[in-house]
Amino acid sequence: MNALLEIIHITLVSLSRAILNFSFVFVIWIIYMLIKKYKNINIYNFDHSKTVINALVESILQGIIIGSIGSLIIAVIGLPMNLTYYLIFLLPLAFGLALINIRYLCFSYAASVMGVLSMIFRGQQIFGITLPNININISGLLALVGILHLMEAILIYFVGADDAIPIVSKKDDQIMVGHLMQKYWPLPIAMLVLSAGSVASSEVVEMPNWWPLLKDVPSGMSTYFYGLMPFVGALGYSSTTYCEEPKKRCKKTAVKLLFYSLILIVLAILSVNYMALQVIGLILMAGMHEGLILYEQHIENTHAPLYTLPEKGVRIMSVIADGPADQMGMKLGDIITKVNDIEVLNTRQFRAILKNEYTFLWIEVQHINGDMETFEFKAYPDGIRDLQVRLIPENPRIIYRHQSVQKIGLFHIIKNRFRK
């Protein structure tokens, strides 16, 4: 137990150094810009979403909490990396790839590129020029990305659908509403690194014989020790769904990412001293991640949208908390078909009906599963003229294309930022 408490203490100290590092502030600034860009999409004000600052504070706190959990997993089970100068390029490389497409901010792509470069650049000489010896522990890199995606899966499962923004789109001349989900987290993490040399016995924490689980000590290193190094990264999630509810989509994605992360961790442990498995791991690291994204896009292209403009009635896209509709129990996606036995044809007529300021309402609603339900609401003595709901617009001002929302690069965001 004492050893476990010491590990927790050392891990938290290392995390605090990561949080106080300037790189952490820089990552927060980047995420602030991304959140601000995301909030600007909510032009129809479907939901009373969080402010940019509130969303940023939540993101920072969630990142610190999940970073602590991931760091403890790395330290307790022992998933080390060889300490090398080139590791500092991992985060800049991720941001460089994000200039092309924001989804490439994920470390799956940056780590795959770094691993390939490590295999190519081994300090060899070509035409008298000595190439750099990157020499990154690829097994450790696989383990790191696996742990990062384990943390990401947890975050997506619990908070991925928070603050999802409805977007209006059009397909086959049919107006439909989907949900855009974008979440970004600054990530302080304590990486377990293998270093040559020795430390004083008073600074050593005795670990069990099986530890570390990933044993990859370079040949020729007779004296070495494991330590925790503060590291700053970022996690991101971006998805658009028209055919599923946001929470359902996030939970499905989280489960897939969980299996993805476990596959990488197992490959990391098995690939020690086996270059073939390391190559397979690097290919799967980027390939499987991209495959998950392409699979979700395939689902969107082949399944019917969930929220469409009905031929008759009005469809609810947002229920304002504590309003009359919320008190009655109306939900996202419900279609209001009748009010006080008057058939609802469209939004204009629905608003005209409510202008009568009835003191008692009977509202007939068709749920997303097709079931019908009648709600009652008393509004004595003043009557009611607003149910406090947002409806699918029949003549939307702006139509978003699914591809245009997703294919935004960080370069585009920064350029627009400095134009203002």
Residue 346 sits in the same domain as residue 235: no
Q: What pTM did the predictor assign?
A: 0.86
Cα-based angle 94, 263, 66 (whole degrees, multiple of 5) = 55
How many Å is the Cα radius of gyration of the chain?
26
> Does 403 have pLDDT greater than 70?
no
Residue 239 sits in the same domain as residue 174: yes
Q: Is residue 203 part of a domain?
A: yes
Dist. CA 123–CA 169, nearest whole Å? 53
More confident position, 40 or 374: 374
> Does 356 have pLDDT greater than 70?
yes
> Does 71 have pLDDT greater than 90?
yes
Dist. CA 80–CA 268, nearest whole Å? 10
**pLDDT (tens digit, 9 = 90+) per residue, 320-349?**
888 999 999 999 899 999 999 999 999 999
Number of domains the chain is built from: 2
Arithmetic mean of pLDDT over the chain: 87
More confident position, 161 or 129: 161
Q: Is residue 420 part of a domain?
A: no
Residue 247 sits in the same domain as residue 352: no
**pLDDT (tens digit, 9 = 90+) per residue, 164-192?**
888 888 887 888 988 989 999 999 999 99
More confident position, 314 or 416: 314
Q: Is residue 400 part of a domain?
A: no
Residue type, 419: R
More confident position, 318 or 221: 318
Q: Is residue 419 part of a domain?
A: no
Q: Provide the residue range defining the domain that includes 347.
A: 310-391
- Predicted pLDDT at 47: 59
Q: Is residue 401 part of a domain?
A: no
Mean pLDDT of the 202-226 span: 78
**pLDDT (tens digit, 9 = 90+) per residue, 7-64?**
889 999 999 999 999 999 999 999 999 999 888 877 666 655 688 999 999 999 999 9
- Predicted pLDDT at 25: 95
Residue 356 sits in the same domain as residue 224: no
Q: Is residue 398 part of a domain?
A: no
More confident position, 196 or 117: 117
Residue 210 sits in the same domain as residue 233: yes
Residue 273 sits in the same domain as residue 323: no
Residue 219 pLDDT level (bands cut at 50, 70, 90)? low
